[in-house]
Amino acid sequence: MSAKVFDAIIIGAGQAGTPLAGRLTAAGMSVALIERKLVGGTCVNTGCIPTKTMVASAYAAHLARRAADYGVTLSGPVGVDYKAIKARKDKVSGASRSGLETWIAGMEKCTLYRGHARFVSANTVRVGDDLLTAPKIFLNTGGRASVPDLPGVDDVPYLTNSSMMDLDVLPSHLVVVGGSYISLEFAQMFRRFGSEVTVIEKAPRLTGREDEDVSAAIQSILENEGIAVHVGADDIAFARIGNGIAVTFSAGKPPAVGSHVLLALGRVPNTDDLGLDKAGVEVDQRGYVVVDDQLRTSVPGIWAMGDCNGKGAFTHTSYNDYEIVAANLLDNDPRRVSDRIEAYALYVDPPLGRCGMTEAAVKKSGRRALVGQRPMTRVGRAVEKGETQGFMKILADADTGEILGCSILGPGGDEAIHSVLDLMYAKAPISTLARAMHIHPNVSELLPTIAQELKPLA
């Protein structure tokens, strides 16, 4: 069989692959875009878009239950129609996917192949009965939920972040195993939908990559809503009990018995079934494709973008990977992965916005630093909205004034964080923030005030 020849092959129509196809075809290249499941990848189908749509429904239910706090009366108890919530989620997610499919169909010189791509050689892949070859191949294969080999896990039905999207009944008791970002978003939203929720985390605290004060505040927020949180779980195992699922987590403590169990214990890259060995592409011990600072793999002519390269596990890092690759290939602009500043959000309510270094990382670096902090109880906008949980914290270099990092846990924290992030990209010192005039009333207006009140980091 003779191979069909293209200028470029992109494996995976996710948040880096699809826009790259757009740029390459606009530059006159012929592109084969291969997708084995759903166009849009994790973000559109099982990640950001559907989950944040559900978070919005959960927030509406929560706010309705608090109506009396705002002097608003309701004629009866607040109800939740979970099938309607799922239908709304499916509609929003489906519209996004459909939009991407329309965009791809309109790209001149782009051919979309549906199927599983496997390498035959360094420049040739097979998709079903089709053999495709190109001098440039781009991997955008994403990742999936990790399912550790825990005792009894194969003997019980469990959910992952993906299968949660297909759930059409509201759990009476959802047991969430894992205490990080995905797990906590699901825990809070389902509690607000009306489920009993238990969170079990092996580590000594939730969101272990955050500072201890941030982790403690997040746990308090969840517990204030009636979510049972167990950390330091040293003996996690699963078993069926009648119609339920028992999750043991610590010796001497009774198991959590739920109607449903969600495993949210990390992610693994989708690289184990691509035939990368036949192409000679190097992967690390965890299966991530090894790339350099411009996302080139160990094989000339092959790049890796998004979750499969281990350089970030977010839609925004995947899209930035596309921008880096396109800039180097098409714009003579030598952008690099190391140019970007770590930034992300946790979409519990109130949300956490994070950028740069944590306090723990700054201390570990040994540099002299300054820190400023303010609780949301002293932020006028938060008080006015009746949402005063959380706080803001800014870190700066004591010698140079460089802004080192920021955490904003509070209303609008996922948006307000960009006030600091953009200054960090501009390499502006903390004094620039301190002298800025922000709009009142707003959560962000307190950032300059905090910048004026910095104290040495102990």
CATH code at position 172:
3.50.50.60
Q: In this structure, are 133 and 162 located in the same domain?
A: no
pLDDT in tens, 236-252: 999 999 999 999 998 78
Q: In this structure, are 113 and 188 located in the same domain?
A: no
C-alpha distances in angstroms, 386 versus 59, 69, 258, 277, 314? 14, 8, 33, 56, 31
- What is the percentage of the chain residues whose pLDDT exceeds 90? 97
Q: In this structure, are 412 and 326 located in the same domain?
A: no
CA–CA separation, 307 vs 144, rounded Å? Answer: 9
Q: In this structure, are 260 and 283 located in the same domain?
A: no
| Token pair of 43 as six digits | 């973000």
pLDDT-based confidence at residue 82 (cuts at 50, 70, 90): very high
CA–CA separation, 361 vs 406, rounded Å? Answer: 12
Q: Could you tell me if 12 and 34 are in contact, meaning their C-beta atoms sit under 8 angstroms apart?
A: yes
C-alpha distances in angstroms, 360 versus 108, 368, 405, 414? 50, 13, 11, 21
C-alpha distances in angstroms, 80 versus 58, 60, 72, 228, 410? 9, 10, 19, 21, 25
Is the pLDDT assigned to residue 1 strictly greater than 80? no
* Number of folded domains that form the chain: 3
pLDDT-based confidence at residue 444 (cuts at 50, 70, 90): very high
Q: Which of 250-259, 287-296, 414-423 has the lowest mean pLDDT?
A: 250-259
| Token pair of 390 as six digits | 């959380």
Residue 312: CB atoms within 10 A of its CB come to: 20
pLDDT in tens, 372-417: 999 999 999 999 999 999 999 999 999 999 999 999 999 999 999 9
Q: In this structure, are 84 and 175 located in the same domain?
A: no
Last residue of a domain, one of 322, 339, 356: 339
pLDDT at 251: 78
pLDDT at 15: 95
pLDDT-based confidence at residue 352 (cuts at 50, 70, 90): very high
Last residue of a domain, one of 283, 315, 339: 339
Q: In this structure, are 284 and 137 located in the same domain?
A: yes
pLDDT in tens, 101-145: 999 999 999 999 999 999 999 999 999 999 999 999 999 999 999
- Please identify which of the residues 62, 260, 418, 440 carries the catalytic annotation: 440
pLDDT at 78: 94
CA–CA separation, 237 vs 182, rounded Å? Answer: 21
Q: In this structure, are 432 and 322 located in the same domain?
A: no
What is the span of the domain harbouring residue 363? 343-456
Last residue of a domain, one of 247, 265, 283: 265
Q: In this structure, are 392 and 429 located in the same domain?
A: yes
CATH number of the structural domain spanning residue 407: 3.30.390.30
pLDDT at 2: 84
| Token pair of 243 as six digits | 């119609």
Q: In this structure, are 8 and 136 located in the same domain?
A: yes
pLDDT at 305: 98
Q: In this structure, are 277 and 128 located in the same domain?
A: yes
**Residue 440 bears catalytic tag:** yes
- DSSP per-residue codes, 6-26: -SEEEE--STTHHHHHHHHHH
pLDDT at 313: 87
Q: In this structure, are 198 and 91 located in the same domain?
A: no
CA dihedral 174, 178, 181, 185 (to 10 degrees): 10
Backbone dihedral angles phi then psi of residue 245, each to the nearest 5 degrees: -125, 120
Q: In this structure, are 302 and 356 located in the same domain?
A: no
DSSP label of 402? B
